[in-house]
Structure 1
Amino acid sequence: MATLADVARRAGVSPATASRVINGSSKPVADELRERVLRAVADLRYVPNAHAQLLARPQRSVVGVVVHDVSDPYFAEVTRGLQRVATDRGRLVIICNSYRNPERELEYVEMLRGQQVAAIVLAGSGYHDADFTALLAEKLAAYEATGGRVAVIGRHEHPGDAVMPANEPGGRLLGAELCRLGHRRIGVIAGPRVLTTITDRLGGLRAALADGGVPLPDERIRYADFDRDGGARAAAELLDAVPGLTALVALNDSMAVGALTLLRSRGIRIPEEISVAGFDDMPVAADVTPALTTVRLPLVELGARAMTLALDPATDRRRVEVLPAALVRRASLGPAAG
Structure 2
Amino acid sequence: MTRFGYFLSCEDWTPAELVEQAVAAERAGFEALWISDHYHPWNDEQGQSPFVWSVIGAISQATDLPVTTAVTCPTVRIHPAIVAQAAATASVMLGGKFVLGVGTGEALNEHILGGPWPSADVRLEMLEEAVEVMRRLWTGEVVTTRGTHYTVDTARLYTLPETPPEVYVSAFGPKALEAAARFGDGFITTQPDAESVATFKERTGGKPAQVGYKVAWAATEDEGVDHAHRLWANAGVPGELAQVLPSPQHFEQVSQLVTRESTAESITAGSDVEAHIAGMREYVEAGFDEVYVANIGPEYLAMIEAYGRDVLPAIRSGS
How does the TM-score come out when normalised to structure 2? 0.27
The structure that has the greater radius of gyration is 1
